[in-house]
Amino acid sequence: MKTWKCEVCGYIHSGDKPPYSCPVCGADEDCFNVLEINAEKKTPATAELWKCGICNYLHKATESPSVCPVCSASGNLFVPLSITDSPVTQSDDTLRIVVLGGGIAGLTAATEARRQSPHASIRLVSRERSLPYYRLNLTRFLAGDIAEKELQIQSQQWFDEQSINCISAEATLIDRDKRFVYLRDGGQLVYDRLVLTNGAHPFIPPFPGVTRDGVSVLRTIEDARSILKRLTPSSCVVCIGGGLLGLETAGAMARQGATVTVVEGFSSLLPRQLPPRAGNMLQQRLEAQGLTILCGETVKELAGDESVRGVLLESGRQLPADLVIVTAGVRPNSYLARQAGLTVHQGIVVDDRMFSSDPAILAAGDVAEHRGTLYGIWPAGYAQGVVAGCNAAGGRAEFDGLAPSTRIKVLDVDLFSCGQIHPEDASTSLHEQELNGVYRAIFCRDGQLLGAVLYGDTTTAGLLKEIVESGRQISEFPELVTLFPKL
Ligand SMILES: Cc1cc2nc3c(=O)[nH]c(=O)nc-3n(C[C@H](O)[C@H](O)[C@H](O)COP(=O)(O)OP(=O)(O)OC[C@H]3O[C@@H](n4cnc5c(N)ncnc54)[C@H](O)[C@@H]3O)c2cc1C
């Protein structure tokens, strides 16, 4: 039996073969790599808390579990943590935890808080009508790869069993003195610990014409439904932004039969994840699939009447469009925290335990800024949510950062990017190889691997991610030297 790891979300599967599709994020079997487990089981006598090395799940016992109950990682991937006594002074029974935001960070925070504290009152507030769902799979839903019901993460029955009270309401104000969250419907919730997991919203550049009908974003299930409602097989769709979300959305629209153009301001695709050479290879591949990709172009105006009819570019070029999807990045929903006087840079500033500048308030996921980083990715929301939920309920857990990694869905392209791809100074060396449509690149400094990119063949993604995350010397990994003989 082998251990397989989903390179999209970190889910671990045990079996002779990878699953047909990942039960957590829906990635297909090609996204699984064999996880080589070398670590010896660590059992220091003093350890009372164990952290899963894959999903950060915390296990309170003198020995690590044999299998992680959250992501199924095997027990030898757990690392021991030392417990300092809980800072929570109230008894378990009276602790009132409010989690604000029902995305992945909110769901995992509420789940972990319940695990830590069986009797605390836990309320999960979301302004979306749906129960928490796999937001990262909205593009697969748009493409018609999965049905809407497959997006749901947990059923209402599960929330009832966990005694997590899901409240569908929008929070409008936090009063830190009274420890109240005020809701738009006039209600208010009192808290002892508040976990802010209210996520991010799409950034929409202020182009003239951006408010016309037919101009959309893709963040929620409602957005996806309204895009599908407007779409016909003869639709001309323009996606503004050639990042991951833009490309996946474009691929989904093309899958539905639409004519699709992607407009990207940078000179190559996925500029944050790929060196230009790999970005160009990806562009050629997507063009061969029928997408029109315009790099180095910027939008001047969205033309039309009540409805959008076209996109006018600064270069003078005009693109017909009856549906424009703006995928120009996201911004944290930091307004509630700003109004409440918490320390906010771009996101809510949190420490390693996910506490904000107020010891009664924690934050996690896309709304949080940890050591200057806004991750904006699913695995970080998951891991930070676990840590925030644990600490909110009186446990002790820390988040020590993640090497961001990327796989692309929907487009039938084998692509992996991990860690630092755009080094800050000249002390970094780039090693690139391209052969028969397979591209590999690594970025090294001081004998360490900072980042890696694979295109065309991603079978070594797991190895490269492990090396980047370990921070160990490249020389400790002879397999890497085999891949890059000139190292
Ligand atoms: C289409 C799409 C595809 C993606 N694909 C990937 C991928 O392949 N890999 C990856 O790693 N990441 C991907 N992401 C990003 C990933 O989904 C996010 O990083 C993750 O969902 C963030 O989770 P979160 O819980 O922090 O915030 P969110 O999921 O944004 O959840 C925040 C919740 O808070 C609610 N809320 C906000 N304000 C209030 C308020 N005032 N009152 C009440 N509720 C409020 C929101 O309505 C929302 O339900 C994708 C995102 C999208 C949109």
Interval 413-431: pLDDT, tens: 888 888 888 776 778 888 8
pLDDT score for 85:
35
* CB 334 near ligand 1, within 6 Å: no
Angle at the Cα of 116 from the Cα atoms of 113 and 117, rounded to 5 degrees: 85
pLDDT score for 35:
74
Fold of 92-201+331-392: FAD/NAD(P)-binding domain (3.50.50)
Cα of 319 vs centre of ligand 1, distance in Å, is 30
Cα of 481 vs centre of ligand 1, distance in Å, is 38
| Chain mean position to CA 304 | 35
Question: Within 13 A of 484's CA, how many CA atoms are on the CB side?
Answer: 22
pLDDT of 244 over the 70 cut: yes
Helix, strand, or coil (residue 277):
helix
- Per the DSSP assignment, residues forming a β-bridge with 201 are 331
| Mean of pLDDT values over 348-355 | 97
pLDDT band at 80 (very low <50, low <70, confident <90, very high): confident
- Best residue among 366, 402, 417 to mutate for probing ligand 1's pocket (most ligand atoms within 8 Å of CB) is 366
pLDDT of 45 over the 70 cut: no
* CB 26 near ligand 1, within 6 Å: no
More confident residue, 127 or 402: 127
Average per-residue pLDDT for the chain = 88
End-to-end CA distance of the chain: give it in Å, rounded.
34
pLDDT of 297 over the 50 cut: yes
**Domains of the chain, residue spans:** 2-81, 92-201+331-392, 215-328, 414-483
pLDDT band at 44 (very low <50, low <70, confident <90, very high): very low
pLDDT of 284 over the 90 cut: yes
Taking phi over 0 as left and psi of -120 to 50 as alpha, with beta for the rest, 326 belongs to: beta
pLDDT score for 39:
38
pLDDT score for 123:
98
- d(CA 267, CA 24) in angstroms, rounded, equals 34
Residue of minimum CA distance from atom 27 in ligand 1: 199
pLDDT score for 8:
62
Residue recorded with tokens 């840590």: 387
Least trusted range by pLDDT, from 82-91, 212-221, 398-407: 82-91
pTM of whole model > 0.85?
no
CATH 3.40.50.170 applies to domain 2-81: no
pLDDT of 441 over the 80 cut: yes
Let me know if the fold of 92-201+331-392 is the same as that of 215-328: yes
Query: Percentage of the chain with pLDDT > 70?
Result: 88
* CB 347 near ligand 1, within 6 Å: no
Contact 92/394 with Cβ under 8 angstroms? Answer: yes
Cα of 137 vs centre of ligand 1, distance in Å, is 11
* CB 125 near ligand 1, within 6 Å: yes
pLDDT of 41 over the 60 cut: no
pLDDT score for 5:
78
- d(CA 412, CA 31) in angstroms, rounded, equals 11
Q: Which CATH architecture has domain 414-483?
A: 2-Layer Sandwich (3.30)
- Best residue among 218, 377, 386, 411 to mutate for probing ligand 1's pocket (most ligand atoms within 8 Å of CB) is 377
Cα of 123 vs centre of ligand 1, distance in Å, is 18
Residue recorded with tokens 């446990």: 395
pLDDT score for 77:
65
**Nearest ligand 1 atom, CA 128:** 47
Query: What are the C-alpha distances in Å from 2 to residues 11, 73, 113, 342?
Result: 14, 12, 32, 47
| Mean of pLDDT values over 123-147 | 95
Query: What are the C-alpha distances in Å from 257 to residues 245, 252, 288, 308, 404?
Result: 19, 9, 15, 19, 32
More confident residue, 256 or 85: 256
Residue of minimum CA distance from atom 3 in ligand 1: 136
pLDDT score for 52:
62
Contact 162/111 with Cβ under 8 angstroms? Answer: yes
Cα of 200 vs centre of ligand 1, distance in Å, is 6
| Mean of pLDDT values over 44-59 | 60
Angle at the Cα of 351 from the Cα atoms of 348 and 355, rounded to 5 degrees: 70
Residue of minimum CA distance from atom 50 in ligand 1: 136
pLDDT of 269 over the 80 cut: yes
* CB 10 near ligand 1, within 6 Å: no
Give me the sign of the Cα torsion angle 182, 367, 350, 470. Answer: positive
Helix, strand, or coil (residue 304):
strand
| Mean of pLDDT values over 128-133 | 95
DSSP state of 25: T
pLDDT band at 436 (very low <50, low <70, confident <90, very high): confident
| Mean of pLDDT values over 261-276 | 92
* CB 365 near ligand 1, within 6 Å: yes
DSSP state of 132: S
* CB 101 near ligand 1, within 6 Å: yes
| Mean of pLDDT values over 356-379 | 96
pLDDT of 2 over the 80 cut: no
Cα of 65 vs centre of ligand 1, distance in Å, is 30
* CB 7 near ligand 1, within 6 Å: no
Q: DSSP per residue over 323-376, as a string?
A: EEEE---EEE--HHHHHTT--BSSSEEE-TT-B-SSTTEEE-GGGEEETTB---
From the options 3.50.50.60, 3.90.1150.10, 3.40.50.300, 3.40.190.10, give the CATH code of 215-328.
3.50.50.60
Contact 454/460 with Cβ under 8 angstroms? Answer: yes
pLDDT band at 306 (very low <50, low <70, confident <90, very high): very high
- Best residue among 100, 125, 126 to mutate for probing ligand 1's pocket (most ligand atoms within 8 Å of CB) is 126
Least trusted range by pLDDT, from 300-304, 371-375, 409-413, 466-470: 409-413
- Per the DSSP assignment, residues forming a β-bridge with 194 are 98, 361
Say which amino acid occupies 276: P
pLDDT score for 73:
54
| Mean of pLDDT values over 159-171 | 97
More confident residue, 37 or 163: 163
* CB 452 near ligand 1, within 6 Å: no
Structure-block tokens of residue 410: 């929907």
Question: pLDDT of 86-100, one tens digit each?
Answer: 344 444 668 999 999
Q: DSSP per residue over 205-253, as a string?
A: ---TTTTSBTEE--SSHHHHHHHHHH--TT-EEEEE--SHHHHHHHHHH
Cα of 158 vs centre of ligand 1, distance in Å, is 21
* CB 370 near ligand 1, within 6 Å: no
- d(CA 191, CA 189) in angstroms, rounded, equals 7
